[in-house]
Each structure stands twice: as C-alpha cells, then as structure tokens.
C-alpha cells in the first residue's frame, strides 16, 4: 500500500472515531457532566477506537502492541469511570420514599 493511501485510510478512521465518540458521549445529558468531563470521555472514547484499530493491523511490532493495549485499557477505564460517576449523580436526583413510622422501630431492633 502506498503512503498516500495509508494516510487517507488512517485519516478516515480518525474522522469516524471522532464522530463515533462524539455521538456516544453526546447522549449523556449536559446537566450531569461538566464540559471538561464530557470532553475527556469523548477523547478517551476516540483513543479506545484508535487503539483497537492499531491492535487490529496486521503489521505491528511489540511496541505498537504494548502502547495499543495500554491505550485500550486506560481509555476504557476512563470512559467506564465517567459513566459510573454519571450513574452516581443520577442516584442523587432520585426521589426517596418517606420513612414510615414503624420503620424507625425496626431499624433500632436490627441494630442491637
């Protein structure tokens, strides 16, 4: 494959990864994420897709494999962590059931 064809292929993958990362992360409501957190998750989503492309290429040496594997692991940890934080924030906004008068007595008996 010529260098120009390879460059066009890699730029196409980059643009598709950016679009995919933006679409996935933009589904999270903006009230729950600061712009910095959303941007970081989007960037790490792109890193994960790009690293998977690097790991899937047939011509890679040990350095490419190690860096690609680390990028997948660390990028995935960041994206999953962002969604865990979002889930915890959603829990804060859920309505809590009011305590019933008999529940306080049961809690006292279970504590003994």
* Residue range 37-54, pLDDT digits in tens: 666 777 778 888 888 888
Does pTM top 0.75 for this prediction?
Answer: no
Looking at the structure of the chain, the number of domains it has is 1
Is 102 within the bounds of a domain?
no
Which of 50, 69, 43, 59 minimizes the C-alpha distance to 12? 50
Contact 44, 20 (CB under 8 A): no
Is 112 within the bounds of a domain?
no
Is 109 within the bounds of a domain?
no
49 by DSSP, 3-state: which?
helix
Predicted pLDDT at 16: 92
For residue 60, what are the domain limits? 3-92
Which of 60, 79, 63 minimizes the C-alpha distance to 21? 79
- Other CB atoms within a 10 A radius of the CB of residue 91 amount to 8
Is 72 within the bounds of a domain?
yes
Question: In Å, what is the CA distance from 86 to each residue of 34, 38, 48, 62?
Answer: 11, 11, 20, 36
For residue 105, pLDDT over 60 is answered with no
Per-residue H/E/C for 27-50: CCCCCCCCHHHHHHHHHHHHHHHH
Is 18 within the bounds of a domain?
yes
Is 76 within the bounds of a domain?
yes
Is 99 within the bounds of a domain?
no
Contact 53, 24 (CB under 8 A): no
Which of 95, 88, 82 minimizes the C-alpha distance to 48? 82
* pLDDT tens digits, 61-92: 888 888 888 888 888 888 888 778 777 777 77
Is 13 within the bounds of a domain?
yes
């Amino acid at each position: 494959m010529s260098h120009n064809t390879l460059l066009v292929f890699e730029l196409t993958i980059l643009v598709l990864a950016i679009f995919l990362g933006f679409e996935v992360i933009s589904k999270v409501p903006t009230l729950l994420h600061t712009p910095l957190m959303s941007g970081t998750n989007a960037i790490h989503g792109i890193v994960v897709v790009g690293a998977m492309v690097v790991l899937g290429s047939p011509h890679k040496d040990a350095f490419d494999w190690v860096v690609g594997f680390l990028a997948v692991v660390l990028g995935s940890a960041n994206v999953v962590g962002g969604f865990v934080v979002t889930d915890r924030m959603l829990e804060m906004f859920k309505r809590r059931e009011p305590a019933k008068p008999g529940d306080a007595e049961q809690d006292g008996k279970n504590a003994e």
